[in-house]
Amino acid sequence: MTASLIPTLPGHYYTDPTIFTREQSRIFERMWICAARAADLPKPGSFRTVEIGRESVVIVRGRDGMLRAFLNVCRHRGAKLCTEAGGEVRRAIQCPYHAWTYGLDGRLIAAPNLTKMPDIDRVEYGLITVHLREWIGYVWVCLADEPPSFSEVTGAVTERLGDLGAIDSYEIESLDVGRRITYDVRANWKLIVENFMECYHCATIHPELTEVLPEFADGYAAQYYVGHGAEFGTGIQGFTVDGSEGFAKLPGVTDDQDRRYYAITVKPQVFVNLVPDHIILHRMYPVAADRTIVECDWLYSRQVVESGRDVSRSVELFHRVNVQDFDACERCQPAMGSRAYARGGVLVPSEHHIGAFHEWVTDRLGDAVID
């Protein structure tokens, strides 16, 4: 192989159920995962459920206003407690099978005939706690018994922008969701990450994006350069589908950040897109070797959302980008099982940084991966 080309992962890394299961246990069940927008749980009793790795997790806001996360499993016979994606309970979470009932702090508080079982420790038989952190307005959870340092998350910002404080200017925690779209992508999660990390494809499949960000047509993604933001093209007024004016820039955005787009990959499942007047954040949830659910939030200032202003032109730009990207990933997925891709493909120079992602994956999986 020439110096211009370096190898990708072999095709079976994108199709093998054994590898997928190992990714779930060694990556998604050990790392910090972005699970929900904190504002989606506005008051005591609000809950959200999310599938992480092979587990169902329920996130709930307690009577004290604090958010907590638990495995969504009754300690009695293992029934799933909350079957809806979200909602509200009054004062407790009750199992629909045998009515074991848990406080919003996870403690067992009631069950049929519980008073006749005085030896039951209500804390010990409470819900299994999942580690939880809040950052940039989102709830992050970790299933590991001993979670890694949260710097694995924040370090991605430093690595990309050169300074953790650079993201603070956008005050993401203060923004509101103007639009949320969920995509069911028939492709392996790694194909989606790889696609987001490079722009070699941009001139081919993203005509609207390259019109707004002309430098992307040269094939180098913003993530290729530490601290660099892709500049809006001449005559482009805003990050919208037709380049027309968007909204006033967010209050903390600096002059250096104005009229620029920054992209951050937070492994293993978050993409953060920063533009002056709004933020686009993707969360990925792999459900099979060839299927990934992607939830995408468009975040705007509270004034924009509460006033009911039309956000469709800015939403449409990245919605088209998403559809174009996911279509490309779905086009690749069937070929991952082809003998033509048995040894993988190649990365050109503008994609060489994806090689570091592949090394990260194989390091996480360890030496038991099938060759």
The 3-state DSSP composition of the chain as helix, strand, coil percent (nearest 5) reads: 35, 25, 40
| pLDDT for the residue numbered 139 | 98
Condensed to tens digits (0 to 9), the pLDDT of residues 295-335 reads 999 999 999 999 999 999 999 999 999 999 999 999 999 99
Model confidence at 367, in pLDDT bands (50, 70, 90)? low
Preceding omega of 268 cis (within 30 degrees of 0):
yes
| pLDDT for the residue numbered 220 | 81
> Does residue 370 have a pLDDT over 60?
no
Q: Which two tokens stand for residue 98?
A: 């045998």
| pLDDT for the residue numbered 295 | 98
The proportion of the chain whose per-residue pLDDT surpasses 90, expressed as a percent, equals 92
> Does residue 191 have a pLDDT over 90?
yes
- What does each C-alpha distance from 280 to 12, 251, 368 come to in angstroms? 31, 17, 37
| Cβ neighbours, 10 Å, residue 121 | 8
Global pTM value: 0.96
Q: What is the dihedral of CA 15, 27, 138, 150, to 10 degrees?
A: -150
Model confidence at 368, in pLDDT bands (50, 70, 90)? low
Give the integer Cα–Cα distance in Å for 43 and 33.
Answer: 22
Helices (H) then strands (E): counts for the chain: 8, 18
Condensed to tens digits (0 to 9), the pLDDT of residues 58-71 reads 999 999 999 999 99
> Which amino acid is present at 36?
A
Give the integer Cα–Cα distance in Å for 243 and 353.
Answer: 30
Residue 288 dihedral angles phi and psi, to the nearest 5° = -160, 170
The residue among 180, 158, 132 whose CA lies nearest residue 283 is 180
Q: Which two tokens stand for residue 80?
A: 């799933």
Condensed to tens digits (0 to 9), the pLDDT of residues 86-102 reads 999 989 999 999 999 99
Condensed to tens digits (0 to 9), the pLDDT of residues 105-131 reads 999 999 999 888 888 888 899 999 999
Condensed to tens digits (0 to 9), the pLDDT of residues 75-90 reads 999 999 999 999 999 8
Contact 10, 353 (CB under 8 A): no
Helix (H, G, I), strand (E, B) or coil at 340: helix
Residues 6+ apart with CB under 8 A from 88: 43, 45, 46, 47
Contact 173, 136 (CB under 8 A): yes
> Does residue 1 have a pLDDT over 80?
no
Mean pLDDT of the chain: 95
Beta bridge partners of 271: 265, 282
- What does each C-alpha distance from 212 to 202, 235, 279, 369 come to in angstroms? 12, 9, 16, 42
Model confidence at 234, in pLDDT bands (50, 70, 90)? very high
> Does residue 369 have a pLDDT over 60?
no
